[in-house]
A and B are shown apart, each in its own frame.
Chain A
């Protein structure tokens, strides 16, 4: 049981070799103090390969959301370094972080998070208009067509279905061609068919346009769409899997849940 688990990513080698879009070095994040002390991230080192669709899997409380929030500069780590491209996120002040989020990072949230007063199109170009930039019309057209929202562009979010809203969110993340898109349980609020559409769309975006996407999920089916999966448990990277399938991920998760890393830690 112990031998085939807990293979920490060293952070140096990429499973398929290639460029690195983002990297963490020994990042640690602790919440609370004393009895309430929870180690959310425990010296996590990993790399996000460029142009790939990477999944971060783990049971609830494994620290996967915290990891993503730290990667995206939404949360700060207690120690360690996070690099997006070659920029050290942990050293940025609020202004620089804002610029990072605006120019180099895209987000897709579980609960869509569209601005209700803006139309679909306005929501899509929101990051650009905040930055005061004109959208690249060709690219915008391409994104709009890929998400299949051409005829819904002037609708308000309340007039769209959940799947459509999430596709607007995807388009919003894609339109500024960020270095990395972070998706936090993007299918969590969708029915399975809409979810499948969104996942297929994310996978295709990575394959056809080379967009780096990191997706946090606890759904093995969702993880099955990714190019590679990082497994997290109790704030540690416990495994990686290349070209996963839903079945293999499910299998791995089952074992993870039966043998939490904490106990393995003790066993070692």
Chain B
């Protein structure tokens, strides 16, 4: 019977419950979408890898001491490969793999694919049992300057057969002719790469060395298994070679992709969690209001003998239905979100296998679990309160739900706030990597405290933010402000949803704009050169480019810099290779202690790295050069942290080049005679026209790049928070819609005594804006506070300047007002449309 009543209620209040269900849908869909995205991708990867593991070959490759891209790869020479056939009884044929770093520069002088992806070139080999590589248009490369480009890479760079394109490899830059476009088949899937192919001879010349391969594939003789061959190869080769069966390699790749998607989906799920949390506020609020509106009905049920349990159950059944309906919708919308995510990822270069969305039972279970549990949990308290309505209430005219005082809430809220504040305060003196964790923890506690304190804060805050509304809005404005603080709990719960989103948005904004400002300041301080020549891509450019720039009249000095990789104290570490004395002007290098000259096997260490590793002038550390040579480096000086160098170690050029196979420059600082600045700049530009891989940047460019990088991250975070703000907006719609129903008689009276429809609409709109402003005020307040705390805590670790980005914050405020206005559209329309007579006579 109670279940039937619950269902009747649902159909009687379809519209309100629709909005609640929408909140559930939005909350669930993000989480479901992320899971569907992950499962779809991994299913397709499984299929693709299934094909690849068919091959029976065994791979032999030198172990790479340095994994960083651009690091000098160790190679296997042809003689060693050839000798395997004799030394290893199970080995049959071998096939060489020549692969290495190669970027293509597009017409605009940009690296095709950008910085975030890997750039590979290989000896173009077609066929083979496992390879799906084939030419789509044009032909395979044969001549010296022939280049083939993988189809996605070609599409991204706008490259077609017949084009002449600059290609940069470890051996320098070369302009080549595109003779074909090829596809890798499914092999490309999941790789964040651009690919080009050369003829085998050219590949060896450019990517490895003539007669040297990156790896070889060895085929087992008949009757020899992959594993047997692998064991024989391992025994025959020195320890610095890696032997892997095809299966192992596939398994490793699969593992890598799995963990990548694991991380990615965990990240996305965190944001989905915010939506769910925000949604739960909305659901809670809606059920509280629905129950309040049915007080009389529930009291009547109790009066005719329904038990408390039965009344509670009726509400819970309603919640259950809403939860199930909402979760179902959430899965549906989730499929769309998964597709959108997929599209987004392929836009940013990660080719994901397309395939029909995979909705696993686990996803369905999770979606229903989250959706219904959150809904039922959010409805439980209101249901309990409903059951506590005394039966006699049915007979009274004005019934109010029993309300508790704010005292417990106040005490608890203040307690949590104090703990949160303390945790945030702790972050101030903490280490670089601990501070963010403490800040996040303290932030969550403070957010929780604000949620608890919301009802207590709502009166004063609403009075404050509602003041201009009341001043500007006339009677409608005054009434709306009063309405907003008539039920502090409701207003607070509605605003909390928005608060959470805005707190996160504003903390992200303050931190990122402070990061940008700090980068600006450091660049101002440290970017002493007029220009820097930067290589596009990682390999660099040949010294002649720098020499030619140095020869330009008006150029006072060119300081060449190489960005190397070494193993220092067993850690792979980026090193700057340059003459420290020459760096004093262009990057404002400051030697704190020690000397600024570097001999062989000597090193300068950045202050923070030195502190971390306990190094000082005179101390020694074991190190390994790119060619594998192990040495002991002596620290001869400590330099102040430097944003422009951005690398903790500085080694001398001669010492490093002795152990490196390339003399490519990655950067050069150019100092120009101020009197001839304009003419010299023009001449440098014309010199560099011959070197498309070299980019000329001044300080402003460096700032812009730093800023753009930070903004990109910020924008991604904002995009992920949009959904929770959408949920919050739905919450305002819900609250106002229900308030309008609740205040039917009041609105009727206002209309009866002469309030126009427009004024009624304005009243609802103002109330909505006041609620939105309340949420925004708390959210912005907390977010900005945390942002400032983060800046202070990390002031010596990269965020030295505080930038509140007032413009952006003001924009959020305006956006919040916009959300308020939009959220009020429907409730206001409903209120204004009310029949005055019916409204007044409604009981």
The reply to whether A132 and B474 contact each other, CB–CB distance below 8 Å, is yes
Write out the residue numbers on chain A whose beta carbons fall within 8 Å of the beta carbon of B475.
126, 129-130, 132
From B483, B752, B753, B836, residue with most partner A Cβ within 10 Å: B753
Min CB distance, A90 to chain B, in Å?
15
Query: A106-117, CB under 8 A of B: which get 1 and which 0?
Result: 110101011111
SS of B interface (majority): helix
Contact of B745 among A106, A113, A127, A132 (CB under 8 A): A113
The reply to whether B479 and A74 contact each other, CB–CB distance below 8 Å, is no
Asked whether A117 and B753 contact (CB < 8 A) given A74-B837, A129-B475, A130-B759, the answer is no
Min CB distance, A149 to chain B, in Å?
18
The reply to whether B837 and A102 contact each other, CB–CB distance below 8 Å, is no
Asked whether A116 and B746 contact (CB < 8 A) given A74-B837, A130-B475, the answer is yes
A242 on the B face (CB < 8 A): no
The reply to whether A131 and B754 contact each other, CB–CB distance below 8 Å, is yes
Write out the residue numbers on chain A whose beta carbons fall within 8 Å of the beta carbon of B755.
98, 102, 130
The reply to whether B752 and A107 contact each other, CB–CB distance below 8 Å, is yes
The reply to whether A74 and B836 contact each other, CB–CB distance below 8 Å, is yes
What's the count of A-B pairs with C-beta under 8 Å?
69
B10 on the A face (CB < 8 A): no
Write out the residue numbers on chain B whose beta carbons fall within 8 Å of the beta carbon of A118.
479, 482
The reply to whether A98 and B746 contact each other, CB–CB distance below 8 Å, is no
The reply to whether A130 and B837 contact each other, CB–CB distance below 8 Å, is no
Min CB distance, A132 to chain B, in Å?
6
| Interface residues in A79-128 (C-beta closer than 8 Å to B) | 94-95, 98-99, 101-103, 106-107, 109, 111, 113-118, 126-127
Classify chain B: how many residues form its interface, as a range: 20 to 34
| Interface residues in A9-51 (C-beta closer than 8 Å to B) | none
A69 on the B face (CB < 8 A): yes
Contact of A94 among B478, B757, B837 (CB under 8 A): B757
From B748, B752, B836, B840, residue with most partner A Cβ within 10 Å: B752
Write out the residue numbers on chain B whose beta carbons fall within 8 Å of the beta carbon of A126.
475, 750, 753
Asked whether A115 and B750 contact (CB < 8 A) given A69-B837, A130-B475, A130-B759, the answer is yes
The reply to whether B749 and A98 contact each other, CB–CB distance below 8 Å, is no
Contact of A113 among B474, B756, B840 (CB under 8 A): B840
Cα distance A129–B483 in the bound complex, in angstroms: 17
Min CB distance, B323 to chain A, in Å?
34
| Interface residues in B460-512 (C-beta closer than 8 Å to A) | 474-475, 478-479, 482-483, 486
B52 on the A face (CB < 8 A): no
Write out the residue numbers on chain B whose beta carbons fall within 8 Å of the beta carbon of A127.
753-754
The reply to whether B752 and A74 contact each other, CB–CB distance below 8 Å, is yes
B751 on the A face (CB < 8 A): yes
Cα distance A102–B749 in the bound complex, in angstroms: 11
Min CB distance, B746 to chain A, in Å?
6
| Interface residues in B747-784 (C-beta closer than 8 Å to A) | 748-757, 759
Cα distance A6–B486 in the bound complex, in angstroms: 52
Query: B714-758, CB under 8 A of A: which get 1 and which 0?
Result: 000000000000000000000000000000011011111111110
Write out the residue numbers on chain B whose beta carbons fall within 8 Å of the beta carbon of A107.
752-753
A126's nearest neighbour on chain B, judged by CB, is: B753
A162's nearest neighbour on chain B, judged by CB, is: B397
The reply to whether B753 and A130 contact each other, CB–CB distance below 8 Å, is yes
Contact of A115 among B749, B759, B837, B840 (CB under 8 A): B749
Query: B162-205, CB under 8 A of A: which get 1 and which 0?
Result: 00000000000000000000000000000000000000000000
B843's nearest neighbour on chain A, judged by CB, is: A111
A172 on the B face (CB < 8 A): yes
A76's nearest neighbour on chain B, judged by CB, is: B837
B836's nearest neighbour on chain A, judged by CB, is: A74
Write out the residue numbers on chain B whose beta carbons fall within 8 Å of the beta carbon of A129.
474-475, 478
Write out the residue numbers on chain A whose beta carbons fall within 8 Å of the beta carbon of B486.
116-117
- Can you list 26 A-B contacts with CB-CB less than 8 angstroms, sorted by A residue number? A74-B752, A74-B836, A74-B837, A74-B840, A94-B757, A95-B757, A98-B757, A101-B751, A101-B752, A102-B753, A103-B754, A106-B753, A107-B752, A109-B840, A113-B746, A113-B748, A115-B479, A117-B482, A126-B475, A127-B753, A129-B475, A129-B478, A130-B475, A130-B750, A130-B754, A132-B474
By a beta-carbon cutoff of 8 Å, the part of chain B in contact with chain A is 397, 474-475, 478-479, 482-483, 486, 745-746, 748-757, 759, 836-837, 840
7 new A-B pairs (CB below 8 Å) besides A98-B755, A107-B753, A115-B746? A74-B836, A74-B840, A102-B755, A106-B753, A109-B840, A113-B752, A130-B754
By a beta-carbon cutoff of 8 Å, the part of chain A in contact with chain B is 69, 74-75, 94-95, 98-99, 101-103, 106-107, 109, 111, 113-118, 126-127, 129-132, 172
Chain A to chain B: the 6 pairs with minimum beta-carbon distance, closest first: A102-B754, A117-B482, A113-B749, A129-B475, A127-B753, A74-B837
